[in-house]
Amino acid sequence: MDHNYQLANQEFVQFLRSHRSVNPADLEHAILMHGVGIRIPQIVDLQAYQAGGHNKMGYTEKDLRNAVDQFHRNALEVDSQSRLDYQYFGDVLVFDSTYRTNAYRKPLVILAGVNHHYVTTIFGCALIADETEDTYKWVLETFLEAMEKKTPISVVIDGDGAMRNAIKAVIPYACHRLCAWHLKRNVVANTNKGFVLDFDVAMDMFCSHEEFERRWHLPVEKHNLKDNQWVVDLYNKREKWAAAFLRGHFFAGMKSTQRSEQLNATAHK
C-alpha cells in the first residue's frame, strides 16, 4: 500500500512522539543535577554532549522537563497517617529547623503539632541544603501541596528571620509565635540574670497592653538595658511572643518548638 504522506527520514524518527522516551539512567542523572540547582536546558546540553549530539538523545528538552516534573509530583505522596493527622490537628504548626544531621550538618526541618491527647504528632520533615528564605518557601509550598492546601491558623517558629519571611509569604494569614525556649536562652546570653526573671513574667502575663508596657519598661530601666540593641529588637517583636498580645489566638497550648527538638535529641542518640 502506498503512503499518502511523506515518511520521516531515519535520522528524525527518534523525535516522533511515539518513539521519544527518557531512559531511566538519563532521568536519574537529570534529577540529581536538577536537585542541586542546575536548570533543565543546561542538563539537556550536557546530556546531548555526552550522547554525541541532540539527534542521538532520543528525547527533547520538553520530554526531560515533563519527566522530572512527574518525578517531583510522585515524590509528593506522603504517609497517609501523617496526612490524616494534619487534616485533624494541623491548625497549629510547629516549624523547627534547629537540628543538624549527617556528616555535613544540614538542617532537618520538622513540621509537627499535637493531637487531641496533647501528644507530639509529626506531619512531615525535610532535609534542606541551606536556610534561605527561598528554601523555606519551597518547604512550605511543597508541604501544603502534599496536605491538600490546608493552611494552619497559627505557627510556632524558632525565630529565624528567613523562616519568618517565608511563612509571611506562603501563609500570610497565620499568626506567628516565637519559640519561648529560644527567647529565654537568648535573654540569658544577651542580658543579665535579674532581667531574665522579669522577662519571664512579662512574657507570660495575660494582661492589657498598657500593663505589659509598664511591666516591660520598668525592669529595662532598672537593669540599664535601654541602649541594649538586642533588647530593643526583642521589644519591637513583642506581638509575636508576649501573651498580652497573643490573647485570642489558638496555639493548642504550645509556645515552644521544644517538642520537635526532643525528638531531635532522641534521634541523635
Task: Give how far the C-alpha of residue 169 lies from the chain's centroid of Cα atoms, to the nearest Å.
Answer: 12
| 54 shares its domain with 116 | no
The single-letter code of the amino acid at 86 is Y
| 162 shares its domain with 189 | yes
Could you tell me where the DSSP H helices lie in 76-208? Answer: 80-89, 133-146, 161-170, 180-190, 193-204
Q: Indicate the pLDDT class of residue 90, thresholds 50, 70 and 90.
A: very high
Domain count, the chain: 2
Global pTM value? 0.63
Cell of 17: 512522539
pLDDT digits (tens, 9 = 90+) for 16-44: 555 677 888 888 888 888 877 788 899 98
- Angle between the N-to-C axes of helices 209-222 and 193-204, in degrees from 0 to 180, rounded to the nearest 10: 180
Q: Indicate the pLDDT class of residue 258, thresholds 50, 70 and 90.
A: low
Domain residues for 17? 10-75
| 41 shares its domain with 90 | no
pLDDT for the residue 262 = 44
**Which tops the pLDDT comparison, 217 or 160?**
217
**Average pLDDT for the chain:** 82
Last residue of a domain, one of 75, 94, 114: 75
Q: Indicate the pLDDT class of residue 239, thresholds 50, 70 and 90.
A: very high
| 193 shares its domain with 233 | yes
Last residue of a domain, one of 43, 75, 107: 75
| 179 shares its domain with 213 | yes
| 37 shares its domain with 153 | no
Please give the average per-residue pLDDT across 122-138, as a whole number: 88
User: Do residues 111 and 175 touch, judged by C-beta distance below 8 A?
Assistant: no
Whether 140 has a pLDDT exceeding 80, the answer reads yes
% of the chain with per-residue pLDDT over 70 = 83
Please give the average per-residue pLDDT across 126-152, as a whole number: 89
| 102 shares its domain with 42 | no
Last residue of a domain, one of 26, 46, 75: 75
Q: Indicate the pLDDT class of residue 235, thresholds 50, 70 and 90.
A: very high
| 109 shares its domain with 130 | yes
